[in-house]
Structure 1
């Protein structure tokens, strides 16, 4: 099993109480998202941020990484890819939590595109649920015929926010409601945010909404959130 790591931003307070893990998209790497952690320090001063590089080099972008291959020629490749990559991500999360003496109640997963697929797939199958899952521009991956390995039946599932650009040309915006509806069928409620005039990316409004969502999920008070 591969070992992964990536760039980090330490808690602004110097005393971490939460861990936020960014999962980048296909063909990128951890450096693509870690800057968001610097921006969110204002919302989450007690959070450590880490953005591991996915385990494999990306065939379509040799300088980037991938959680699993994507050819779009196989309707089941996303499912097989998530299943195959989950143990590596689980091991990383377990090690990062143990290093800080945290359990999953102090963990939030933030994904973009393929990273959102991994965040939802892995986060909903942990032995204990993370506190929150935030997915940008992604989709909930389901098994063949919506069968396969089922998510863990949590008594209290993680808080989930799905955000998407209404003009996304890579993963169409319809994926947002498809994912939210599929989660509802599994008894997992999800909030959602639609970014107007945005393609496959994250705008400033989406970033602020996501940061406030994580703060609320962790019970952190943000003064200007009441405006």
Structure 2
């Protein structure tokens, strides 16, 4: 893969030139850029040297909300049609509008790297997490895992993905997307018998602190998806993981 899969896509491939065995797609937050995900990409590459890591740019320039103007990118606008910040009622439609383009980008990335959906992980932060969660909600199995840092659902789901495992990571003192959204998501997914886990770093804000990054690496290396258990044992789906649990 010698050219970007889309303009300004950052990409890191196996250093030995071999074909990637896994694909991790990093989706940045509102007002940020692909370059902001580079430190996370380096950590993932160290842990998974045979992985391809891609960090696309948000599809739109930030349009600003009120007097706020930024030079970064966004996946969807936070400006309300009524003025000010987006409302809860407006958010689902904004996210839904970007999903077809994101789904097509993901399929292109998978074809270009030769990595299938089940070996693909979407790793999002904030607005990127929202998009990742909603993408697999609409396209179950488009990725084998979602790692949602400081994210939330645009609207809580009525059904849980069966082919995608969801991992939530949140700061207990997040003032941008309160941890209550992640807790509500895990409770809903548990009721729907979804395959999901949650880790909370008390005192952390809207960020990816080292403690949650360590949790993410452990989830990636030790959590056996419930679909794998179902296939091997014919068992019913287990309840979603409870806060702070780490899988052995």
With normalisation by structure 1, the TM-score equals: 0.84
SS of residue paired to 1:63? coil
Asked if residue 158 in structure 1 is aligned to residue 164 in structure 2, the reply is: yes
Residue in structure 1 matching 2:73, options 41, 60, 65: 65
SS of residue paired to 1:42? helix
Q: Is the 8 A contact 1:109 1:123 kept in 2?
A: no
Aligned equivalents of 2:109, 2:223: Cα separation in 1? 20
Deviation at 1:73, TM superposition (A): 4.2
Aligned equivalents of 2:90, 2:198: Cα separation in 1? 26
Aligned equivalents of 2:11, 2:222: Cα separation in 1? 22
Asked if residue 214 in structure 1 is aligned to residue 224 in structure 2, the reply is: no
For 1:10, the equivalent position in structure 2 comes to 13
TM-aligned CA distance change 1:90 to 1:217, over 3 Å: farther
Deviation at 1:35, TM superposition (A): 2.0
Deviation at 1:189, TM superposition (A): 2.6
Deviations 1:146-192 (A, max 9, x none): 6xxx66x75x4322110100110101111111111222344323111
Aligned equivalents of 2:140, 2:26: Cα separation in 1? 20
Deviation at 1:42, TM superposition (A): 2.3
Q: Is the 8 A contact 1:131 1:217 kept in 2?
A: no
SS of residue paired to 1:200? coil
For structure 1, the 5+ residue unaligned runs are 220-224
Q: Compare CA radii of gyration and give the structure with the larger one.
A: 2
**Structure 2 counterparts to residues 29-68 of structure 1, below 5 A:** 29-60=33-64, 61-68=69-76
For 2:133, the equivalent position in structure 1 comes to 120
SS of residue paired to 2:169? strand
Corresponding residue pairs, total: 213
TM-aligned CA distance change 1:174 to 1:4, over 3 Å: farther
For 1:174, the equivalent position in structure 2 comes to 180
SS of residue paired to 2:70? strand
Which range moves more in the overlay, 209-218 or 89-98? 209-218
Residue in structure 2 matching 1:84, options 56, 78, 97: 97
Aligned equivalents of 1:216, 1:131: Cα separation in 2? 14
Asked if residue 135 in structure 1 is aligned to residue 148 in structure 2, the reply is: yes
Q: Is the 8 A contact 2:140 2:163 kept in 1?
A: no
For structure 2, the 5+ residue unaligned runs are 1-5, 80-84, 226-245
**Structure 2 counterparts to residues 188-207 of structure 1, below 5 A:** 188-207=194-213
Q: Once superposed, what is the RMSD of the aligned Cα atoms?
A: 2.6
Aligned equivalents of 1:218, 1:183: Cα separation in 2? 17
With normalisation by structure 2, the TM-score equals: 0.77
Aligned equivalents of 1:13, 1:209: Cα separation in 2? 28
Q: Which runs of 4+ in 1 moved over 4 A?
A: none
Deviation at 1:214, TM superposition (A): 2.2
